Structure 1
Amino acid sequence: MYAKILLCYDGSREGRLALREGARLAQITGADAILLAVVETGAGNALAQGADAGALAHQQADFEEILDEGHQRLSALGLAPKVRMEFGDPVAKITQVATEIGADLVVVGHHQQGIWTRWMSRSVAAGLGDSLKCSLLLAQKLVEDSELFGNG
């Protein structure tokens, strides 16, 4: 069913749920797991971060820790994920990486947004739904340890 699953991970609660659900799918299907973090470098983010190289370096270091955590979580589940970090617009980078690696499925976490936020900015999931040429899973399911480790 799936040969390559791109797991988009940001270290958030929603990202952890997506990581677990995507990991379970990789286990079931025997798919390769590719773990991706995107450091957003858009204008709004640059302003929020102070628009200096030091802030970007700090953010990169944070995402390296997040990727390491995700890699450890996936390795503990018996997967051997490839890890990537990209810089730029999340929709564009996720789409680019998915195309480049030939992903069959992209898994992202669902971040709740209020009506005002949805109106002011397009969600990453909506952007991905329009741009990806593969399946997209907007993960929200809580996957129990017994499902992941088979002890239950």
Structure 2
Amino acid sequence: MYAKILLCYDGSREGRLALREGARLAQITGAGVILLAVVETVAGNALAQGVDAGALAHQQADFKAILDEGHQRLSAMGLAPEVRVEFGDPVAAITHVATETGADLVVVGHHKQGFWTRWMSRSVAAALGDSLGCSLLLAQKIVEDSELFRDT
């Protein structure tokens, strides 16, 4: 069913749910896994916040720690993920990596938004649905350890 699954991971609660659900699908299907974190870089925000090279390096270190955590979790589940960090717009970066790697499925966590937030800005999930050439899973299911660490 799936040969390659792209797991988008940011270390949040929603990201952890996506990681677990995507990992379980990879276990069931025998798919390869690409673990991706996207560091959103917006020139306007960087200038407004006075971000310098040191701050960007600190942000990179934070994402490396997040990816290390994700890699450890996936390894404990018997998977051997390829790990990637991309910079820029999340939709563009995820779409690029999915296309480049030939992913059959992209798994992202669902960050709930209030009415006004959703009205004011388009969701990443909606934009991904329009830009991806493969399936998209908005993970919300709680996958228990008993499912993840049993023989597949």
TM range (shorter): over 0.9
Query: How many Å apart are 1:148 and its aligned residue?
Result: 0.5
Q: Which residue of 2 aligns with 1:59?
A: 59
Q: Which runs of 5+ in 2 are unaligned?
A: none
Structure 1: unaligned runs, 5 residues or longer: none
The residue that corresponds to 1:122 in the other structure is 122
Scaled by the length of structure 2, the TM-score of the pair is 0.95
Shift of 1:46: 2.1
Deviations 1:36-70 (A, max 9, x none): 00000024542565332222111111000000000
Indicate the RMSD between aligned Cα atoms, in angstroms: 1.3
Identity of aligned residues (%): 87
Q: Which moved more, 1:119-128 or 1:89-98?
A: 119-128
Cα deviation, residue 24, structure 1: 0.0
In structure 2, what is the Cα distance between the partners aligned to 1:53 and 1:84?
A: 21
Alignment coverage as a number of residue pairs: 151
Q: Please give the TM-score of this superposition, normalised by the length of structure 1.
A: 0.95
Structure 1: which 4+ aligned runs deviate by more than 6 Å? Answer: none
Q: Where does 1:48-87 land on structure 2 (aligned, <5 Å)?
A: 49-87=49-87
Tell me which residue corresponds to 1:111: 111
Between the aligned partners of 1:62 and 1:44, the Cα distance in structure 2 is 21
